[in-house]
Amino acid sequence: MQSKGIYLPRGLLLPVAILLAWEVAAHAGRSGGVLIAPLEQIASTAFTLAAGGTMAVDVAATIARVMSGFVLGAVAGLLFGSVIGTSRAADWLASPTFNAVRQVPLTGWIPVAALLFGIGEGAKLSLIALAAFCPVALNTAEGLAGVSQSYRELGRSLNFSGVTSWWRILLPAATPQIFTGLKHGIAFAWIAAIAAELLLTSGPGLGSMIEGGTALFRLDIVMVGVCLIGAFGYAMAVAMERVEARFLRWRN
Amino acid sequence: MNVRIDDRLLKNDSEVRRVGVAISVDHVSRAFDINGRPLAVLHDISLDITAGEFVVIVGASGCGKSTLLRLIAGLDMPNAGAVFVGGSKVVGPGLDRGIVFQDHRLLPWLTAEENVAAALIARGVPKAERLDVARRYLALVGLTGFETAYPSQLSGGMAQRAAIGRALANDPDVLLLDEPLGALDALTRLKLQNEIVRLSAKNPKTIVLVTHDIEEAVFFADRIVVMDAKPGRIRRIIPVDLPRPRDRSSPGFVALRSAVLDEFIDETH
Amino acid sequence: MARALSIVGIGALLPVVGLSFWEIAARAQWTQSQILVPPSAVFATIVEFWQSGELLSDIVASTCRVLIGFLLGGSLGFVFGITAGLDRRVEAIFAPTFHVLRQIPVIAWLPLLVLLAGFGEGFKILTISIAAFFPIGLNTLDGVKNVSSKYIEVGRALCFSRRQIIARIIWPAALPAIMNGARLSLSRSWMLVVAAELVASTTGIGHRMDWGRQLFQIDVVFMGVLVTGCMGLLIDVAVRGLARRASRWTEQA
Ligand SMILES: Nc1ncnc2c1ncn2[C@@H]1O[C@H](COP(=O)(O)OP(=O)(O)O)[C@@H](O)[C@H]1O
Ligand SMILES: [Mg+2]
């Protein structure tokens, strides 16, 4: 590789090969009855969408949706998880129902949401909130319930009140796992948003964008949408890790 | 060209001909790359250990004791010099050397007997026979009744016994022990020290043991090798001529222990 | 025993109260909505669909898709994880692309897959395979790569061949992670089979739910929710059981 005068990391071999194959297939003709869009067309579509402002509208709509749904679901999950993670009675009372609800795949709730709330914003927000709620509640409860006995005893030996003990000992000790829940929560919220937009198409959003592209048999639009979904999903995950790193500095 | 080949043959011959030398560390140096810079950990170490000898290496933490032991075990290679075991140059691990790590390193998914039996896998011993041998060695280290326990069910002392059993299972000529009792509580350590003496009397081997417990060194050693740090060198070799079995409260023992201790305190200045 | 029973009893309290309330509310028509049928109607619907055999054939159709897709995508992910985990060159070539692609939710591929593979069975199997591929691929890769070098060194000290190190040290050490990946893969597969059937299918439990939705029959939709939940639970329990057997040693402490 170096003899050719270019340095090509091995990790780039596969993407380059895939893109080349894509380009060749695009120029060679038809596949599955649909014209594969050549890369240059995808790029120019991306540019057009970006320049025309529709891309920004779709991205902003999806992110706003995810954010509000996530905040709703995560706050509810934190509260619910705190209660069942702290009180044994609440755990016995509510955990079986929670665990039953958790078993239903996210996509299984989509028709329910559609019937109860229509295809508008309410259905989408409730799906996203539910997606964020489950992992956050689960990890918060497990994190709090799993705080080791020695930390609890420390609280007692320092004569902490119940509230102080919860705030100063239980919560910090459970924070790593709560963040695990929040990270899963944001990832699932993102998936739920795309799924909801895709299957309950109404208004702007990245899911609607790829759904619209499909309806027009515009593979270029679909590919731009898929790339944006991957990129912004990744960006959200990274942002959440940043927040976690700030909160958990004591974990070296 | 010819001359050089002859030269090498001659050298190898001379190594083989050293009768009675079990381990020969020959001008060994080892450096590690730390952030792109070489850090000399061992510098020009030479040490001959006779067959059946019990050598104890002591030295400050980080002076390269484990590195030296790993070089003898063949788990690591020197940058310069060579290690010879039983007359042949060490180019990798071998079943002629059994090693016990500080952390017992039993494989957590195997039971105690399976862990000991694992030592015989490379020799192609059939499974039933492996387990037979393993049970024998578990009995030898006092673990009868715990054959089918998983490592997580064993106490630290029991796990270390099993690890010693694994190192012994091939009946190696050389036993290498890297702070084998370092992580144990004082009582368990005393008990296992007596066990190791008992085992080595029963089945004499060339033993190299690393410790930073001076009393342990005096209790075990025929010779104590005191190492210096940065880079690791041999500072002194102290022969221990006390009669065996050794009495920790005998005047000779106590005197030697404080002499070695003085050596250590000097070193830290 | 009595204590265990009383715990179960407490756990049943919430659903029983909730469902009773819902039943009364629906019968007394407290809500204007015609959509919110009482639980008893959902139950009757389930019985009806079960007796007609439609429910069973829906379940079978979806389960077959999940199993085929999981076997295809899961085994591919497993092979990827093992080879990339054991061989740095394979990892260097494939892992960067893998890590980029796994950022994209599988559900975002649905429209593209429909465009490329049509609405047939191939599309669904492909979707589920992709869903199954990534979790097991990632967990196998990490599991194999993260085997402690201490244990590998034990194998070296005991003169194991490379094969023996792989079979007797890397494999058992990575197995819990791999099983965890399989569990995630199956649950993702189950999520995506429903999605794919909602989008384009004439059979399967997802299709049944979509049908119920279009006819405004919420009892059918709730039947679907119950069935997908039960199937998800069943799969999870089964794989957890297997995983526990595979990693008994991690639990004792
Ligand atoms: N594989 C390695 N890579 C880099 N540095 C190492 C490695 N092994 C040991 N060292 C360094 O070599 C020095 C000696 O280590 P070691 O032999 O373990 O000391 P001891 O056993 O005497 O405490 C230490 O400073 C350690 O950090
Ligand atoms: Mg050491």
Q: In this predicted model, what pLDDT tens digit does every residue of A36-58 receive, in sequence order?
A: 788 888 899 889 888 888 888 99
Q: What is the chain C residue with the closest CA to A99?
A: C233
Q: Would an 8 Å CB–CB cutoff place A48 in contact with chain C?
A: no
> Ligand 1, closest atom to CA B33?
4
Reported ipTM: the value is 0.86
Residue keyed to tokens 């390193």: B105
Chain C residues in contact with A208 by the CB 8 A cut-off are none
Contact A219 C12 (CB under 8 A): no
CB-based contact C81:C137 (threshold 8 Å): yes
Q: What is the pLDDT of residue A33?
A: 47
C positions 221-240 inside 8 Å of A (CB): 221-222, 224-225, 228-230, 232-233, 236
In a domain, residue A32? The reply is no
Q: What is the pLDDT of residue C34?
A: 66
CB-based contact B98:B167 (threshold 8 Å): yes
Beta-strand runs (E) in A90-229: none
H helices then E strands: how many in chain A?
A: 11, 2
Q: Is the same domain home to B18 and B62?
A: yes
In this structure, what CATH number is given to the domain that contains residue A46? Answer: 1.10.3720.10
Q: Would an 8 Å CB–CB cutoff place B125 in contact with chain C?
A: no
Contact C160 B109 (CB under 8 A): no
CA distance B139 to B145: 9
What average pLDDT does this structure show over A87-110?
A: 88
Q: Is the same domain home to B120 and B223?
A: no
Q: Which residue, of B170, B196, B216, is where some domain finishes?
A: B170
In a domain, residue A95? The reply is yes
In a domain, residue C26? The reply is no
In this structure, what CATH number is given to the domain that contains residue B53? Answer: 3.40.50.300
Give CA C115 to chain center in angstroms. 25
Q: Is the same domain home to B159 and B257?
A: no
Residue A114 has pLDDT above 90, yes or no: no
Q: Would an 8 Å CB–CB cutoff place A8 in contact with chain C?
A: no
User: What is the mean pLDDT for each group of 10 consecutive residues in chain B (269 residues)?
Assistant: 39 48 92 89 93 92 92 95 92 93 93 95 93 94 92 92 93 94 87 89 91 92 90 90 89 91 69
Chain A residues in contact with C210 by the CB 8 A cut-off are 111
Which amino acid belongs to residue C168? R
Q: Would an 8 Å CB–CB cutoff place A10 in contact with chain C?
A: yes
In a domain, residue A31? The reply is no
Instruction: Give me the number of domains chain B comprises.
Output: 2
Q: Is the same domain home to B177 and B248?
A: yes
Domain that holds residue C69: 43-252
In a domain, residue B103? The reply is no
Q: What is the pLDDT of residue C250?
A: 66
CB-based contact B150:B108 (threshold 8 Å): yes
CB-based contact C67:C186 (threshold 8 Å): no
Touching subunits for chain A (3+ Cβ pairs under 8 A): C
Q: Is the same domain home to B90 and B190?
A: yes
* Pick from A14, A103, A111: CB nearest C213: A111
Which amino acid belongs to residue B269? H
CA distance B121 to C164: 9
In a domain, residue C28? The reply is no
Q: From ligand 1's centre to the CA of B219, what distance in Å?
A: 26
Q: Is the same domain home to B114 and B41?
A: no
The residue whose CA has the least distance to atom 17 of ligand 1 is B64
The pair phi, psi for residue B97, each rounded to 5°, is: -125, 125
Structure tokens at C235: 């799969």
Q: Would an 8 Å CB–CB cutoff place C211 in contact with chain A?
A: no
CA distance A12 to A1: 12
Q: What is the pLDDT of residue B10?
A: 40
In a domain, residue A30? The reply is no
CB-based contact C170:C162 (threshold 8 Å): no
- Mean pLDDT is lowest, of A20-29, A62-71, C53-62, C154-163, for A20-29
Residue A252 has pLDDT above 80, yes or no: no
Contact B150 C173 (CB under 8 A): no
Q: Would an 8 Å CB–CB cutoff place C232 in contact with chain B?
A: no
Which amino acid belongs to residue C70? F
Q: Which residue, A10, A35, A9, A11, is CA-closest to A22?
A: A35
Q: What is the pLDDT of residue C156?
A: 96
- Ligand 1: which of B58, B66, B101 to mutate, judged by most atoms within 8 Å of the beta carbon? B66
Q: What angle do CA C44, C191, C172 make, to 5 degrees?
A: 125
C positions 171-190 inside 8 Å of A (CB): 187, 190
Q: Is the same domain home to B117 and B238?
A: no
Q: What is the DSSP letter of A34?
A: E
In a domain, residue C119? The reply is yes
Q: Is the same domain home to B261 and B186?
A: yes
CA distance A37 to C112: 12
Structure tokens at B222: 């025929």
What is the SS3 assignment for A31? strand
The DSSP H or E segment spanning A140 is: helix A121-145
Domain that holds residue A136: 40-251
Contact C112 A217 (CB under 8 A): no
Q: From ligand 2's centre to the CA of B72, what distance in Å?
A: 14
DSSP string, chain C: -HHHHHHHHHHHHHHHHHHHHHHHHHHTT-SS-SS---HHHHHHHHHHHHHHTHHHHHHHHHHHHHHHHHHHHHHHHHHHHHHHHH-HHHHHHHHHHHHHHTTS-GGGGHHHHHHHHTTSHHHHHHHHHHHHHHHHHHHHHHHHHTS-HHHHHHHHHTT--HHHHIIIIIHHHHHHHHHHHHHHHHHHHHHHHHHHHHHS-SSSHHHHHHHHHHTT-HHHHHHHHHHHHHHHHHHHHHHHHHHHHHTHHHH--
Mean pLDDT taken over chain A: 87
Q: Is the same domain home to B159 and B184?
A: no
What average pLDDT does this structure show over A226-239?
A: 91
The DSSP H or E segment spanning A228 is: helix A219-247
Q: Which residue, A238, A226, A126, is CA-closest to A186?
A: A238
Domain that holds residue B164: 108-170
Q: What is the pLDDT of residue B206?
A: 94
Q: Is B43 in the pocket of ligand 1 (CB under 6 A)?
A: no
Q: Would an 8 Å CB–CB cutoff place B122 in contact with chain C?
A: yes
Q: What is the chain C residue with the closest CA to A221?
A: C112
Taking only the tens of pLDDT, chain C with its 253 residues reads 667 777 777 888 888 888 888 888 888 877 766 667 888 888 999 999 999 988 999 999 999 999 999 999 999 999 999 999 999 999 999 998 998 899 899 999 988 888 888 888 888 999 999 999 999 999 999 999 999 999 999 999 999 999 999 999 999 999 999 999 999 999 999 999 999 998 888 888 989 998 988 888 888 999 999 999 998 888 888 888 888 887 777 654 4
In a domain, residue C22? The reply is no
pTM (predicted TM-score): 0.86
Q: Is B121 in the pocket of ligand 1 (CB under 6 A)?
A: no
Give CA C111 to chain center in angstroms. 21
Q: From ligand 1's centre to the CA of B32, what distance in Å?
A: 8
CB neighbour class for C100 (10 Å; exposed up to 12, middle 13-18, buried from 19): middle
Q: What is the chain B residue with the closest CA to C150?
A: B105
Q: Is B65 in the pocket of ligand 1 (CB under 6 A)?
A: yes
Q: What is the pLDDT of residue B268?
A: 53
Q: Is the same domain home to B89 and B187?
A: yes
Chain C residues in contact with B93 by the CB 8 A cut-off are 156-159
Ligand nearest to the CA of B57: 1
In this structure, what CATH number is given to the domain that contains residue C77? Answer: 1.10.3720.10
Q: What is the pLDDT of residue A1?
A: 38
Chain B residues in contact with C164 by the CB 8 A cut-off are 121-122
CA distance A65 to A73: 12
Q: Would an 8 Å CB–CB cutoff place C1 in contact with chain A?
A: no
Q: Which residue, of B152, B170, B188, is where some domain finishes?
A: B170
Q: What is the pLDDT of residue B13?
A: 44
Contact C158 B153 (CB under 8 A): no
Contact A11 C115 (CB under 8 A): no
C and B adjacent (3 or more CB pairs under 8 angstroms): yes
CA distance B198 to B225: 22
Q: Is the same domain home to B132 and B239?
A: no
Instruction: Give me the number of domains chain A comprises.
Output: 1
Q: What is the chain A residue with the closest CA to C232?
A: A103
In a domain, residue C4? The reply is no
Residues in chain C, total: 253
**A35 bridge partner residues:** A30
Q: What is the pLDDT of residue A2?
A: 41
Instruction: Give me the number of domains chain C comprises.
Output: 1
What average pLDDT does this structure show over A24-43?
A: 75
Q: A95 vs A66, which has greater pLDDT? A: A66
Chain A residues in contact with C103 by the CB 8 A cut-off are 230-231, 233-234, 237
What average pLDDT does this structure show over A124-143?
A: 94
Q: Which residue, B218, B221, B206, is CA-closest to B264?
A: B218
DSSP string, chain B: -HHHHHHHHHHHHHHHH-TTEEEEEEEEEEEEEETTEEEEEEEEEEEEEETT-EEEEEE-TTSSHHHHHHHHHTSS--SEEEEEETTEE--S--TTEEEE-SS----TTS-HHHHHHGGGGGGT--HHHHHHHHHHHHHHTT-TT-TT--GGGS-HHHHHHHHHHHHHTT--SEEEEESTTTTS-HHHHHHHHHHHHHHHHHS--EEEEE-S-HHHHHHH-SEEEEEETTTBEEEEEEE----SS--TTSHHHHHHHHHHHHHHHHHH-
CB-based contact B138:B146 (threshold 8 Å): yes
User: Under 8 Å CB-to-CB from C187, ≥6 apart: which residues?
Assistant: A105, C232, C235, C236
Top residue of B107, B125, B130 to mutate, by most chain C CBs within 10 Å, is B107
Residue A32 has pLDDT above 50, yes or no: no
Q: Is the same domain home to B261 and B182?
A: yes
Touching subunits for chain C (3+ Cβ pairs under 8 A): A, B
3-state SS, B66-97, equals: HHHHHHHHCCCCCCEEEEEECCEECCCCCCCE
